[in-house]
Amino acid sequence: MKDWSILEKRLGVTFKNQELLKQALVHRSYLNENPAFHLQHNERLEFLGDAVLELAVTEYLYSNYPNPEGELTNWRAALVNAKILSEITQDIGVEEFLFLSRGEAKDAGSKARQVILANAFESITGAIYLDQGMEAARGFIARAVLIKLPHIIEAELYIDAKSRFQEQVQEKFSITPTYQVMSEAGPDHFKHFRVGVFVENTLIAEGQGSSKQEAQMAAAKAALKTDWEEKIK
């Protein structure tokens, strides 16, 4: 039996209608195994919460930073992407309250679980909005998401590592780095890629991830930390 008051405390929100909070955590897979369950899955709440989250973050950035549109857009993207939202959801301690199928419940740590957690954050946001209005939703988003903004700006996490490395290479040598899969392993639903980033024919760095894109990003980050110019002279 789940103690929903524990999750409410973690969220900093006491729901008037606790069924909304429960529904926010019902994954579609759970209903496939439990068709008689009294609540619907969370996808409509996720749809609503996505819009509420984007509006709240956009309003905050617009009101507090005079930066140009491009920078604000990049900051917003860095705050509301699936990776960050899934990490926030894990940190809050939502995962143990999810309603998942037996198969999904065993799939902890996978790319699919990351998406489920990010979607759960959005559905929780939608549930808070329906239960208590926009101000309560803004407060939750400020505590959970906007608190991350200073670190994102300071560490320049809003800048795509691949774009940054490409800019540096093009500035120095007027060429574009390329990425090559060095190896891949695992079943289709749980792949693991090792990717190398090359400048001309010189391997600069390698990165690993559960998708080619993630591995490329890791390789670019690793390249930025090396004295890569010396390798191609």
SS3 196: strand
Is 227 assigned a catalytic role? no
Residue 199 φ then ψ, to 5°: -115, 115
Q: Which of 122, 156, 160, 227 is the catalytic position?
A: 122
- Please say whether the beta carbons of 47 and 126 come within 8 A: yes
Which residue spans within 78-146 are E strands per DSSP? none
Is 50 assigned a catalytic role? yes
Residue 191 φ then ψ, to 5°: -70, 155
CB contact set of 4 (below 8 Å; sequence gap of 6+): 18, 21, 22, 97
43-64 helix and 111-132 helix, angle to the nearest 10 degrees: 80
What are residue 193's DSSP bridge partners?
184, 209
What are residue 218's DSSP bridge partners?
none
- Please say whether the beta carbons of 185 and 192 come within 8 A: yes
Q: Which two tokens stand for residue 137?
A: 């939703």
Q: Which of 46, 50, 104, 131 is the catalytic position?
A: 50
- Catalytic residue list: 50, 122
